[in-house]
Structure 1
Amino acid sequence: MGGTERSAWDPAFTEQVVQRLGPAVRGWFRTEVRGIERIPATGPALLVANHSGGMATPDVLVLAPAFYRHFGYDRPLHTLAHYGVLMGPLSLVMNRLGVIEANPENAVVALDSGALVLVFPGGDYDAYRPTSTANVIDFNGRTGYVRTAVQAGVPLVPIVSIGAQETQWFLSRGHRLAKLLRLTKFRLDIVPISIGWPFGLSVFFPPNVPLPSKIVMEVLDPIDIVADFGDDPDVDEVDAHVRSVMQRSLDRLAVERRFPVLG
């Protein structure tokens, strides 16, 4: 399945989407992407980022235009996404944009082909983190991304973002509510509760429009796992190092911000 999804990537279609949506995203969120040149110029790599903004997460819409402006459209950026994003006719559009289902097999196959792969280890858990912990790197104990990089023999490239968690007020992930509604059997562990515009209180639905918060993303230096941790690295040790590097960067970006939303 991963091979079929990857082969569906359409550079011309991707360029059209980026050219049409890119200016709107930059204008609404006043985006700034730093350090894009730190992504290896050639060869595969696993890009590891924190996830923000809830249902309307703008992470890929912020990063992808900067990536393609720098590297052009001869090199795909594959994003790993929850299977729910790839259900029905929407999957055809997502696959043409380089989105593939998030599982280790797909990631390794894509990396083995020489591609760049973007992963958000924290997934929905991270994207719906409460406003009180907006500037905390938390992958919910998920370390599979490290195993994927080790298996594929590729560097990890950490990426941090700040601002999207200010697009609305996130109150709770709603773990208890998800269990009460027995949604966990559908791989839905959260029913997030937030307050935003124009609907006010939202319990997953209706989705509010993201406030125009300034979003800054920063690409950090690649991490060579074998060089730094040896031929048989401890996965938990690597994960702790990656998160600590990302947390230091996020702390620095947080210090730069003067006001919520305004940046």
Structure 2
Amino acid sequence: MATGATDSGTAGMSVMQQLVPLMSLFVKTYFRAEVRGEQHIPDDGVLIVSNHSGGTFSVDMPMVATAFADRFGAPRNVHTIAHDVMFLGPFGPVMRAFGLVPGSREGAVEILRSGESLLVFPGGDRDAMRPTRDGAKIDFYGRQGYIRTALEAGVKILPVVTIGGQETQLYLNDGTGLARFLRFDKMFRTKSAPLTLGFPFGLTPSLPPNLPLPSKLVTEILEPIDIEAEFGRDPDIEQVDEMVRKRMQHALDGLARERRFPVLG
């Protein structure tokens, strides 16, 4: 079972668990966050697979943590695979205290086998930095390692989609060419440096980051996927990946149809 609140109050809780109430208040007020499908969250550990939105100020992780807290009535320990740059220098111990872990399959499998839940963003930084016009598009850029991780750990996949993150500022392009030119790929191991338009820096190549606009965020949690039950003991990885993305795209398309105005929702 995933770690939750203990009888001794916050003494046995991680930093992330202790901050969930504050994060929940923030996303529900500033972003008017709405989460649907909490009933689909299983009681045991699961690999949460989500699209990634919002660039430098992505709030996907707080949205998922809030959903788990609402589902179980108390903060649950949800780890998140994070970009390697987050662990450079003195930031490493701090990031780990917040439940972030480097992107290794061995570490991910160990977490999942312990009964805890793990959040992954297969699309990575390119997904988080995608143009605003593609805000309702699922693209993992060919990354399928999450499926092998779920199979090795023996857990289900829990697909999650969020809309509104790419409206927290205006992302004008994907920024892959600019990232190479500015050597962001070498300095920060990121392949995207999109031109963004926002406040207070106006037009900027993602760094320095503009403050996020209060775009309404809607997250939908889909039914868990038991890979072995649906595809057998030796599944075709590409077929599973296509199915996961197709179900997520269908859900995201539905959220996009409901959205009437940018930012306002």
TM-score, normalised to structure 1's length? Answer: 0.91
2:259 is aligned with 1:260: no
Structure 2 residue aligned with 1:6: none
Maintained 8 Å contact 2:27/2:33: yes
C-alpha RMSD of the superposition: 1.8
Find the aligned partners of 2:106 and 2:12 in 1 and give their Cα distance. Answer: 22
Structure 1 residue aligned with 2:210: 208
User: Structure 1 residues 258 and 107, CA, compared in 2 at 3 Å: closer, same or farther?
Assistant: same
SS of the equivalent of 1:195 reads strand
Maintained 8 Å contact 1:26/1:62: no
TM-aligned CA deviation for residue 12 of structure 1: 5.2
Maintained 8 Å contact 2:127/2:140: yes
Structure 2 residue aligned with 1:194: 196
Task: In structure 2, list runs of 5 or more residues that go unmatched.
Answer: 1-10
Paired-residue identity, %? 50
Alignment-mate amino acid for residue 81 of structure 2 = L
SS of the equivalent of 2:160 reads strand
Structure 1 residue aligned with 2:137: 136
2:42 is aligned with 1:19: no
Residues 65-84 of structure 1 aligned to structure 2 (within 5 Å): 65-72=66-73, 75-84=76-85
Alignment-mate amino acid for residue 253 of structure 1 = L
Maintained 8 Å contact 1:57/1:127: yes
Maintained 8 Å contact 1:80/1:118: yes
TM-score, normalised to structure 2's length? Answer: 0.90
Higher mean Cα deviation, 229-238 or 174-183? 174-183
TM-aligned CA deviation for residue 210 of structure 1: 0.6
Maintained 8 Å contact 1:11/1:73: no
TM-aligned CA deviation for residue 131 of structure 1: 1.2
Number of equivalenced pairs: 254
Find the aligned partners of 1:15 and 1:114 in 2 and give their Cα distance. Answer: 16
Q: For 1:95-132, what per-residue CA distance to the aligned partner results, in whole angstroms no more than 9, with x for missing partners?
A: 22221112211111111111111100001010011112
Structure 1 residue aligned with 2:146: 145
Structure 2 residue aligned with 1:243: 245
Maintained 8 Å contact 2:16/2:77: no
**Alignment counterpart, residue 226 of structure 2, candidates 224, 233, 237:** 224
Alignment-mate amino acid for residue 225 of structure 1 = I
Alignment-mate amino acid for residue 42 of structure 2 = P
**Alignment counterpart, residue 39 of structure 1, candidates 38, 41, 44:** 41
User: Structure 1 residues 202 and 47, CA, compared in 2 at 3 Å: closer, same or farther?
Assistant: same
Task: In structure 1, list runs of 5 or more residues that go unmatched.
Answer: 1-8
Higher mean Cα deviation, 9-18 or 28-37? 9-18
Higher mean Cα deviation, 65-74 or 112-121? 65-74
TM-aligned CA deviation for residue 89 of structure 1: 3.1
SS of the equivalent of 1:29 reads coil
Maintained 8 Å contact 1:10/1:98: no
Q: For 1:127-154, what per-residue CA distance to the aligned partner results, in whole angstroms no more than 9, with x for missing partners?
A: 0111121111001110110111111111
TM-aligned CA deviation for residue 70 of structure 1: 2.3
